[in-house]
Structure 1
Amino acid sequence: MARWIWSRPALQWSVALLAASTAIAHPARAATPVLFAERWIDGTNGVEPATQVQALDDDTFVIRQSVKTNFEAPFVYLLFGRDKALLIDTGAEDGNIRQTVDRLISDWLVRKKRADIPLIVAHSHSHGDHIAGDDAFRQRANTTLVGLKPDEVANFFGIAKWPEQISRYELGGRKLHILPTPGHQSAAIMVYDPKLRILLSGDTLYPGRLYVPVNFVADNRASVNRLSMFVARYPIRAVLGAHIEMSREKGRDYAHEAAAHPDEHPLELPVATIAELKAGMRASLDTPDERQVHDDFIIVPVGARTE
């Protein structure tokens, strides 16, 4: 299988982070932070690989599944600590994410002169386009799959009071914050990495259509309110979600199941979009026709769901 793996020089990464930090420190002129050196595969260049990888540093990798394999084109995150690695999501159908993950782990082990490292496979939430690759990891050696129900997620990450409590999960010299964010889906979480000051936001916030079941609007609103309090205490350079469904034109999304994303919105969102989402969630979202268009995302109420 053809693959592209791109990384970035340390100097370029440092400059990008400095620029992002400066932008967030001056909200009046804040701009979308730029964390990635290359344009993401978007279906517009003919033949493209099934996955693309870009590295944020030597221990942090962002994987995109090609829109040509599945219209959802989700993003998957792999984070290494000294003692274990954490994979967040396994992609949509036909993604073959495990092959990419195995290669990244193998390369990391060579660089670190290690023989092995335990892998934890967790999920931003349990919708099919984020768990379709789970079966490929079930028999993988030294690998633990976190369950898909809220109580299973809470038990694994030590969240005694779901969803109000924020827990910390240690990878070994890299302690992550696990934030329960039910609403879009009942077992949804976000992951904050203090090392890089990035927030992995799943489907709760990304440049695209933020689907909220009408019977879980209150849950989603409460999650966003808690998130807003969290980001007031912790510095965040960028919010990184699980999809891109918006173009660079403000407020314009692609058609559902679009085969290509020309002029695609950056994956990165500035922290200011969290306040905008909080304000948007205050509006009436009681029926599916109350679609709310913002520059960088669209809040889309959908019919009631059972979970």
Structure 2
Amino acid sequence: MKGEKAMAADARRVRRAPALGLSAALLIASGSGYAPEVRAACGPLPKLLAETWMDGTLPQEPSTQVQQLDRDSFVIRQSVKTNFEAPFLYLLFGRDRALLIDTGAEGGRIRPTVDRVVAQWLAARGRRSIPLVVAHSHSHGDHVAGDAAFRDRPNTIIVGLKPSDVASFFGISNWPDGVAKFDLGGRPLRIIATPGHQAAAIMIYDPRLKLLLSGDTLYPGRLYVPVNFLAENRASVDRLAAFAMKHPICAVMGAHIEMTSEPGRDYGHEAPTHPDEHSLPLPAQTIGELQTGLKEPLDTPGQRQVHDHFIIVPVPARAE
């Protein structure tokens, strides 16, 4: 039986029914769009992170903060004091190689943190080295600015920034419709092409943790969609929703936090501090909510379609 907080959250979703469509709002609230075995595998949104993220409210904070999801999975946050974007990066290890997703925004010092985590991981296993693949959730500057620091790193491959580069490296044969398998060694990931926010955007699904790493396509913040790529974004989220119907996703973890803990309330653009932040993980049901929201008219740059966990914001046409 649902608790009072869950029932209140459901009620808020249903009250937004005029924007979403009543049947869709009820579907999102109940989670009934997911196969029973998928829902049963996850249950409530798990508590994945032990610490509170640094948020710029203290006089001093380190340039990065690292939290561990399990012995082979790490989340790195770049300090908002180094860049207002304060992006999140993900470092995943398998037996044969490690994968770093994004290298941060201007002003960051990501490589020393990555090198430290890699060294600690190797030492814990009595190993001397592991190849590192540096890939990107997408190719915007606040996710690729640290690439240069990795170009001279030994035993490291940096995936290119164009859709063709991404498709070729991961073996997505029918971009953007295909889903590729990328095995770190005993840890097979799924690479899902999601162009729309940006042409080379991808998501990474980790079956071990049942996590979807969703970049800037879905996170607790303002989801910017260029009006000339609305169709691509809608198609990507439709494919993602179909994937989620068949794969247990216990949490969606994106690349930023721009929402407060108050439903539907975000921080101002380029906010220097983030007091009382929304949690980073989102429930899987937000995929369906995003899919439904994108079906509404979104042709006017600057309009805001407000949801509890995110805000869809169409922006002027972009080159890619």
Same fold, judged at TM 0.5 (above): yes
Structure 2 counterpart of 1:108, one-letter code: W
In the alignment, structure 1 residue 182 sits paired with structure 2 residue 178: no
Partner of 2:31: none
User: Which of 235, 249, 252 is the matching residue for 2:265?
Assistant: 252
In the alignment, structure 1 residue 295 sits paired with structure 2 residue 292: no
Partner of 1:144: 157
User: Which of 109, 121, 138 is the matching residue for 2:122?
Assistant: 109
Partner of 2:77: 64
Partner of 1:155: 168
User: Which of 256, 277, 286 is the matching residue for 1:243?
Assistant: 256
Do the aligned residues in 2 keep the contact of 1:33 with 1:269 (CA within 8 Å)? no
Partner of 2:91: 78
CA deviations 1:127-168 (Å, max 9, x no partner) are 000000000000100000000000000000001100000000
SS in structure 2 of the partner of residue 232 of structure 1: helix
User: Which of 128, 140, 164 is the matching residue for 2:177?
Assistant: 164
Displacement after TM superposition at 1:31 (Å): 5.7
Task: List alignment gaps of at least 5 residues for structure 1.
Answer: 1-23
- Give the % identical residues: 67
Task: List alignment gaps of at least 5 residues for structure 2.
Answer: 1-37
Task: Within 5 Å, give how 1:1-307 maps onto structure 2.
Answer: 25=39, 32-307=45-320
Displacement after TM superposition at 1:94 (Å): 1.3
Q: Which runs of 4+ in 1 moved over 3 A?
A: 30-33
Q: What RMSD over aligned residues (CA atoms) do the two structures have, in Å?
A: 1.3
CA deviations 1:247-273 (Å, max 9, x no partner) are 001100000000000100000100000
Deviates more, 1:286-295 or 1:173-182: 286-295
Counterpart CA distance in 2 for 1:79 and 1:242 is 15
SS in structure 2 of the partner of residue 107 of structure 1: helix
Do the aligned residues in 2 keep the contact of 1:284 with 1:290 (CA within 8 Å)? no
Counterpart CA distance in 2 for 1:32 and 1:259 is 29
Give the number of equivalent residue pairs: 282
Displacement after TM superposition at 1:291 (Å): 1.6
TM-score by length of structure 2 reads 0.86
Displacement after TM superposition at 1:84 (Å): 0.2
Displacement after TM superposition at 1:44 (Å): 1.2
Counterpart CA distance in 2 for 1:255 and 1:33 is 28
Displacement after TM superposition at 1:32 (Å): 4.4
Do the aligned residues in 1 keep the contact of 2:45 with 2:250 (CA within 8 Å)? no
